[in-house]
C-alpha cells in the first residue's frame, strides 16, 4: 500500500470515528429527552398528586409505617436520580446556555456528590465560533477527567482552565492527588486502564487537536488539550 493510500485510509477511518461519536451523542440526547419528558414528568405529576392528597388530610403527621410523607421522600429521591442521569447523558444547558455554563453546572452537581473536592474554574471563551461537536467533546473530557479525579486521585483540589486566543482553544484539568506513572498507564490496555486516558487522547486527536498528560506518583495530574481555530 502506497503512502497516499495509507493517508486516504487513515482519513476515512478518522471521518468514520467522528460519525460514530456524533451518532452516539445523538442517541444519548434522545434517551436524555425521553427520561426527562416521560419518566421525569410522570414522577413530578405523581409527587404533585400526593402533595395535594396530603393537604386534604390537613398535613397531619402520619403514624403508620408507610405514609404519604415517606412516599414523597422516595419520589423526590428517584426524581433527582432521573434528573442526574438525564443531565449526564446530554446536558440541555449545553445547548441552551453554552459550554461554560454547562461546565459550571456540572461542577456544582459534582461537588454535591464529592463534597471533599474543591473545583476551581477559569474560563475565557468566545463560544460563537466553536462548533457544537467541539463543545460537546470538551464537556465530555471535563466529565471524564473529573470522574478520574474523584475515583482514583484522592485529590482535595482540582482546577479547570479553558482559554482561547486568535489561533487556538486550550483546555487544562489538573489536580493535587496521588498521581501515577503515565508510561505504565498508557501501556495497559484501554479496557484495563480504568482512567479513560485513551478516550481523552483519541477524541482530542479525532477533532484535530493535540493532548498531553503529565503525572507522577504523589505529584498530581495535569491533562492538557489544544485545538486550532
Q: Which long-range contacts (CB under 8 A, 24 or more apart) does 37-42 make?
A: 39/82, 40/79, 40/82, 40/83, 40/86
Query: What proportion of the chain, given as a percentage, has pLDDT over 90?
Result: 34
3-class secondary-structure state, position 50: helix
Residue % of the chain over a pLDDT of 70: 76
Task: Give pLDDT tens digits for 60-76.
Answer: 666 654 577 777 777 77
The answer, yes or no, to whether residue 138 has pLDDT greater than 90, is yes
Kindly tell me if the per-residue pLDDT of 161 is higher than 50. yes
Q: CA 148 to CA 142: how far, in whole Å?
A: 10
Helix (H, G, I), strand (E, B) or coil at 221: strand
Model pTM score: 0.67
Higher pLDDT, 4 or 65: 4
Q: Hey, what domains does the chain have and what are their CATH numbers?
A: 3-89 (no CATH), 98-228 (3.30.565.10)
pLDDT in tens, 101-128: 999 999 998 998 899 999 999 999 999 8
- Give the model's confidence band at 154: pLDDT under 50 very low, under 70 low, under 90 confident, else very high: very high
Rounded Cα distance, 205 and 176, in Å:
26
pLDDT band at 152 (very low <50, low <70, confident <90, very high): confident
Q: Residues 171-226: pLDDT tens digits? A: 999 999 999 988 887 776 554 444 577 788 888 988 889 999 999 999 999 999 99
- Condensed to tens digits (0 to 9), the pLDDT of residues 162-182 reads 999 989 999 999 999 999 988
Instruction: Please compute the mean of the pLDDT values over residues 75-104 and round it to a whole number.
Output: 81
Amino acid at each position: 500500500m502506497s503512502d497516499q493510500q495509507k493517508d486516504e485510509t487513515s482519513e476515512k477511518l478518522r471521518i468514520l470515528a467522528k460519525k460514530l461519536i456524533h451518532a452516539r451523542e445523538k442517541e444519548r440526547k434522545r434517551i436524555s429527552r425521553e427520561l426527562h419528558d416521560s419518566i421525569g414528568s410522570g414522577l413530578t405529576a405523581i409527587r404533585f398528586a400526593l402533595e395535594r392528597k396530603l393537604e386534604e388530610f390537613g398535613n397531619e403527621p402520619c403514624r403508620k409505617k408507610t405514609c404519604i410523607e415517606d412516599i414523597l421522600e422516595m419520589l423526590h429521591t428517584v426524581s433527582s436520580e432521573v434528573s442526574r442521569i438525564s443531565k449526564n447523558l446530554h446536558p440541555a444547558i449545553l445547548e441552551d446556555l453554552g459550554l461554560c455554563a454547562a461546565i459550571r453546572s456540572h461542577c456544582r452537581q459534582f461537588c454535591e456528590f464529592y463534597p471533599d473536592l474543591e473545583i476551581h474554574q477559569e474560563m475565557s471563551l468566545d463560544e460563537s465560533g466553536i462548533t457544537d461537536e467541539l463543545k460537546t467533546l470538551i464537556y465530555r473530557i471535563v466529565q471524564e477527567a473529573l470522574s478520574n479525579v474523584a475515583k482514583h486521585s484522592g485529590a482535595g483540589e482540582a482546577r479547570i482552565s479553558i482559554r482561547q486566543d486568535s489561533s487556538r482553544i486550550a483546555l487544562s484539568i489538573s489536580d493535587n492527588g496521588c498521581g501515577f506513572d503515565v508510561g505504565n498507564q498508557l501501556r495497559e490496555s484501554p479496557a484495563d486502564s480504568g482512567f479513560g486516558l485513551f478516550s481523552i487522547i483519541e477524541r482530542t486527536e479525532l477533532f484535530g487537536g493535540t493532548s498531553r498528560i503529565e503525572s507522577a506518583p504523589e505529584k498530581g495530574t495535569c491533562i492538557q488539550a489544544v485545538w486550532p481555530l
